[in-house]
Amino acid sequence: LYLKSTTNEFFIFHAEFIRDFFLDSSDTEGNPIYLFNADISPITSNLIEKNFQVPEKWQQVLLKNTDTAFFNALLRRELFHRSYFLMLTQTENLHIILMQVIQEEEATMPIKQLLKKELWIVLALAPILFFFAFVQARKDTREIKHIGSILQDIASRKFEKEISVRYQDERKLIYFHLQRLQKKLKRYHEMQLDKIIQNEQKLKILIHHLPDSLYLMDEEGSILFSNRDEIPLYKMAYEGQYISESEMAKKLFKRSKQGLKQGIEIETLTEAGNYRYLQFFAEEWKSYQGETAGYLLIVRDITNKKTKFDKEIEYAMRVQKEYLPQKIIPFAGIEYSFYYKPMVGVGGDYYDFFLLPNGNPIFVVADVTGHGIQAALSMTVIRVIFREICRRYQDAKAIAEEFNNSLIRQLPGVNLVPLTFFIVDKNKQKAYYQNLGQTNCYLMREGSLITLERTGVIAGLMPDKQFRPREIWLQRDDTFFLATDGVVECRKEQGLILGDDRLEELLQEIHTQDVHRLGELLIEKLTQFVEGENFQDDITFLFIKITENLS
């Protein structure tokens, strides 16, 4: 017997006791009983000769009498050339329909015979008989409703009311099976509930023993749950006041929700005067409908990890500093400035400027994929390769082609490097440049911004590739801008990047300034654009200005 509740839960119950009841009933032959699902699909009947099946014609009868006004009432219908009394009963929430059928002729036969024999006695007894028939019908209706309410309680997991076995007739079997069903389901429900409670206790123990602090927050930043009862006080390095870890979490949540998704590191000072480094990051948790219901914010003490990492970065910075120029080298007729800001202390951007063996100055910027120590080591190797090539070659074409092949031969794991270099030929009043894969390099001349087009594919992509350099006739006050992609890819919290168009607008705004001031102004503009957030990539650029005739 399949029962469906109003909460869209399905329960399967053994229907054997119903069949047993029908088989033992003394009214089997005279009073057919049919059981239907809510969708009028048949379940079973008490007709042994029909193998307990529901004839299709009675299913059609029910389809025509499904109006709720017909339920729990005695209906008289002309069906199949005969008159029948129908009793339709439906439980409130389980949607099971019980239909009892009585032929009018059989029901009224005793009364007709009595009328023939003793009409006056029948007339006298008619009100009494009607009364008892009404009482019995009401009693049967209440009994069916009572059974329906019991099934409803079982389906709703309400086991408080015990089922008592009443009566000594065939109804006893029904109540007996219902009693057994209730006890079995109650034991199963209690076992499942115990398991849930045990798992919940284990989860609480696990959460409270985690080294990280967990805060379950709603969309407004209010804390719903935490695994920390006593939170130490910290003073945020940039706020100067002692607040609890939970208050710090709420402040950061309201200030930079997007930043928390990527992770935020905060330097704090405890009341004991010790510096601690905390990492905050958040993950969304969603409702059953898939909508954001709040956030799980995790706070991790990374002091030991941070201290060790800082020492490694400090050592890498000292090494990298030896390979990157730290001050301006004077070149006749040329003024220039440079800016280098790695994302994490050291990075993969390479910049350089020096004199070729023929006396011509060369300026170069390149970008190694990645950040941190690994990228810095790759950058160091690239710097050695590029300098060695420039010691043997002074022609822009030969330098680009030899650098491309050297990357493929010597650095197979780091063989894609965007690179731009710029050679000033003093004798010819020309500049030669190669732009291999960079997009944001420009010449600023007389108020106009001229893009330095690419001269080839990214270095390290294709072996034995030929690169044809571009040449530019130089004029006084020409200013060249060479940069890695970290500049054009500066990103706001909302994910909006600077892009080529905005970079060109910034360069147009500041191009009239002194070359040494250009770098400061550009950094100010970039900082304003990201609205105080940290740069998400290494930032490297050069401004090169021709101040006089070079001959």
Domain count for the chain, please give it.
3
| pLDDT at residue 386 in the model | 93
Task: Provide the β-strand partners of residue 244.
Answer: 233
Residue 4 has a pLDDT of: 46
Cβ(45)–Cβ(15) below 8 Å: no
Query: Residue 144 corresponds to which tokens in the numbers above?
Result: 């069916």
Residue 68 maps to a domain? yes
What is the structure's pLDDT at 531? 78
**Residues 524 and 347 sit within 8 Å (Cβ to Cβ):** no
Task: Clarify whether residues 180 and 224 are in a common domain.
Answer: no
Q: What is the CATH number of the domain that holds 289?
A: 3.30.450.20
Element (DSSP H or E) covering residue 135: helix 119-155
CB atoms inside a 10 Å sphere around CB 358: 11
Residue 449 lies in a domain: yes
Residues 224 and 364 in one domain: no
Tokens found for residue 8: 């869209």
Considering the domain architecture, whether residues 337 and 482 belong to the same structural domain is answered as yes
Indicate whether 267 and 164 sit together in one domain.
no
Asked if residue 314 belongs to a domain, the reply is: yes
Neighbours of 237 (CB within 10 A): 12
If one counts every other C-beta atom within 10 angstroms of the C-beta of residue 401, the result is 20
Task: Count other C-beta atoms under 10 Å from residue 531's C-beta.
Answer: 10
242 bridge partner residues: 235
Domain boundary among 301, 332, 365: 301
Residue 400 and residue 429 share a domain:
yes
Which pLDDT value is given to residue 51? 72
Cβ atoms of 504 and 442 within 8 Å: the answer is yes
Q: Is 487 found in the same domain as 406?
A: yes
CA distances from 22 to 27, 107, 167, 174 (A): 8, 20, 16, 10
Q: Let me know whether 64 and 172 are in one domain.
A: yes
Angle (CA) 539-315-526 rounded to 5° is 15
Q: Please report the pLDDT score of residue 287 as a whole number.
A: 73
258-285, pLDDT tens digit by residue? 777 778 887 787 777 777 888 888 888 7
CA distance 324 to 343: 16
Give pTM, 2 decimals.
0.50
> Which residue ranges in the chain fall short of pLDDT 50?
1-6, 13, 21-28, 238
Assigned domain for 486 exists? yes
What is d(CA 537, CA 214) in angstroms, rounded to the nearest whole number?
30
Domain boundary among 153, 188, 223: 188
Q: Are residues 329 and 359 in the same domain?
A: yes
What is the domain range of residue 255?
Answer: 210-301
Q: Which one of 252, 272, 301 terminates a domain?
A: 301
Is 204 among the domain residues?
no
CATH number at residue 399: 3.60.40.10
- Residue pointed to by tokens 């307990």: 52
Whether 140 is covered by a domain: the verdict is: yes
Tell me how far apart the alpha carbons of residues 414 and 407 are, in angstroms, rounded to a whole number.
8
**DSSP H or E run through 403:** helix 396-410
pLDDT tens, residue by residue, 339-358? 988 877 677 788 999 999 99
217 and 247 belong to one structural domain: yes
> Which of 299, 315, 363, 373 shows the shortest CA–CA distance to 342?
373
Same domain for 540 and 445: yes
Domain-located, residue 200: no
Give the closest residue to 334 by CA, choosing from 473, 470, 476. Answer: 476
Q: Which amino acid is at 477?
A: D
- Contact, 422 vs 433, CB < 8 A? yes
Alpha helices in 167-279 (DSSP H): 171-208, 245-255, 257-262
- Pair 106, 133 in one domain: yes
Both 340 and 376 in one domain: the answer is yes
Residue 104 has what DSSP assignment? H
84 inside domain: yes
> Which residue is listed with tokens 């280098």?
340
Q: How far apart are CA 127 and CA 129, in angstroms?
A: 5
